[in-house]
Amino acid sequence: MRLQGVKAVLFDLDGTLVDSSEAIVNAVEKVLELKGLTCNRAKVARMIGVPLENIFGVLAPNLSEEETWQLVHEYRKYYMKHHLENTTIHPSAIMVLRRLKADGFKLGIITGKYREPVMDILSHFGISELFYVVVTGYEAMRHKPAPDIVLEAAKRLRTDPKRCVVVGDSPLDVQAGKRAGAFTVAVLSTTYTRKQLESAKPTIIIEKLEGILDIL
């Protein structure tokens, strides 16, 4: 299957281009410990991609909204200091991104993360210059699965969302892309099963990130 008429490729970050799951889980665990709360690491891992305030809302449901946002603030401080220690880039990510850019596609990042660590990660792995646009979850009105982040990236690229491909490893990525009218490519990862991805009905599911090169 080859997708026709595509001008831009919009990538989710965590789980798709990089693996920062351990960094995220460690930071959540550390912040909960400060409050005297225990952390179910497996539960946190299953929620990666969900906004931080929602994660803490699930893990510490008895806290007030103000206390929840205080946890988010503490998380961000800790995460920024330590996240690169436990973040790795997908083995073929740099090759895939360079090939796509060389082929004339406009590349973008659409992530639920806030901006500071995203730019840190892109700079650390030397891939910042490959992206025309970076849109984070807190720059859009609503988080994935709402289409806002996809629509905002398409707007900044001056490209019709219908000529964009959203590439991600979660049902949230697929849902956001579909609601924006974009093509959607789901990449198998350790976080979500094929069945979970199939239930979101992406345009196509690929086994490995480099599979994107066969369909564009």
Q: Do 161 and 175 touch, CB atoms closer than 8 A?
A: no
What tens digit of pLDDT does each residue of 90-117 get? 999 999 999 999 999 999 999 999 999 9
pTM for the model stands at 0.94
User: What pLDDT band is residue 30 in, cutting at 50, 70 and 90?
Assistant: very high
What are the tokens at 6? 């595509």
Q: Per-residue b/e over 179-200, b at no fewer than 16 CB within 10 Å?
A: bbebbbbbbbbebbeeeebeeb
What tens digit of pLDDT does each residue of 55-97 get? 999 999 999 999 999 999 999 999 999 999 999 999 999 999 9
**What are the structural domains, with CATH classification, of the chain?**
8-19+88-215 (3.40.50.1000), 21-85 (1.10.150.240)
Span 172-182, mean pLDDT?
98
φ, ψ of residue 111 to 5 degrees: the values are -135, 150
In the block, tokens 């008895």 appear at 62
Please report the sign of the dihedral spanned by the C-alpha atoms of residue 132, residue 137, residue 138, residue 144: positive
What are the tokens at 62? 């008895």
What are the tokens at 163? 């000529």
